[in-house]
Amino acid sequence: MDNIISGQAQKVEDVDGTRVQNEFSKFLKSFKGDKNELQYKTAMKELVQPEKNTIFVDMQHLYKFSNNLATTIELQYYRVYPFMCEALHLATLDGCDENERQQMFKKQLYVSLYNLDAKTKVRELSADKVGGLVRIAGQIVRTHPVHPELSRACFVCEDCGVSTRDVQQQFRYTQPTKCANPQCMNRTRFSLDVNSSTFVDFQKIRIQETQAELPRGSIPRTVDVIVRGEMVETVQPGDKCDIVGTLIVIPDIAQLSTPGLRAETSNQNRGKTSDNIRKTNIYWEKNRVLIGIIFSLKWKL
């Protein structure tokens, strides 16, 4: 009996997400720019290089290709972003030879969007912006060290030995809800297979609203930003940047870099209201980069 089962088999299909994945794949493969050449063909080929993992996509190109697709991404960015990254991964594999495919198998790729029309002020970030695509501008006031983050995990059942692959990690250490072996009743006893899991670099930075956005007599507000992949170590305090990403409730950062421990809800995080979210509890996902996620962001230095 094969003791390796994909974790994707346990997921319920997201029809809208699958539609976005198919349309975004067509966009990457067929969109032509002003010179009537495939706009993203070269960029996808470059992703084979070890230091490359992010493709930068102009939102205006998406609107030109399909207004419905661009609107869906803008309104439901957090939901559809994993499907966009999967579309990029599959489209990139289509242009690879056999040796390159082996290198790309475990590589995490990201879609980074930029040139979004609407810009939101830092102090206008509120609960209604959670999950959607937004753009802000600010000045870097602090950067944190780069840490590894568990991205796709492989877990081994401690009862029957069956492996569950590709368990997506969403801002906290996430184990399978049950063993992938239908004959096994284990729901809690899993160990992480580090060698078969995928890790990415992530970095936390802090930005402050610009003087142009600061109301008279007000104290500047700050926002915590998390970047992944190619975006880490690209800015330093004092730099001004333009960021495109999604707003979520801040995760437990410590859990992102401590695989092997079951994540539990801490008492201090229980009962947070939307008022807390409006302050500094935010997270910008770069293809995503940014990340994912993020993440998704584009720097303008």
Residues 231 and 132 in one domain: yes
Residues 167 and 267 in one domain: no
Is a pLDDT exceeding 60 seen at residue 150?
Answer: yes
Lowest mean pLDDT among 99-103, 142-146, 204-208, 235-239: 99-103
Using pLDDT thresholds of 50, 70 and 90, give the confidence band for residue 21.
very high
What amino acid is encoded at 249 in this protein?
Answer: V
Which domain CATH number covers 141?
2.40.50.140
Q: Could you tell me where the DSSP H helices lie in the chain?
A: 15-30, 41-46, 59-65, 67-75, 77-94, 98-104, 253-256, 274-277
- Give CA separation, 42 vs 5, 64, 193, 254, in Å: 34, 20, 35, 37
The answer as to whether 240 is a domain residue is: yes
Number of Cβ atoms within 10 Å of the Cβ of 75? 12
The answer as to whether 293 is a domain residue is: no
Please tell me the predicted confidence (pLDDT) of residue 12: 67
Contact assessment for residue 120 and residue 106, using Cβ atoms and an 8 Å cutoff: no
Please tell me the predicted confidence (pLDDT) of residue 252: 52
Q: Which residues pair with 248 in a beta bridge?
A: 283
Is a pLDDT exceeding 50 seen at residue 262?
Answer: no
Average pLDDT over residues 19-48: 90
Please tell me the predicted confidence (pLDDT) of residue 24: 96
Residues 103 and 126 in one domain: no
Q: Which residues pair with 192 in a beta bridge?
A: 155
Residues 65 and 194 in one domain: no
The boundaries of the domain holding residue 229 are 122-146+200-284
Number of domains in the chain: 3
Burial class (CB within 10 angstroms; exposed 0-12, middle 13-18, buried 19+) of 130: middle
- 192 membership: H or E segment, kind and range: strand 190-192
pTM over 0.85: no
Strand, coil or helix: what is 99? helix
Residues 223 and 134 in one domain: yes
Average pLDDT over residues 84-103: 85
Residues 103 and 13 in one domain: yes
Domain boundary among 198, 233, 258: 198
Which domain CATH number covers 68?
3.30.1640.10
Q: Which residues pair with 55 in a beta bridge?
A: 111
Question: How far apart (Å, rounded) are the C-alpha atoms in residues 150 and 148?
Answer: 7
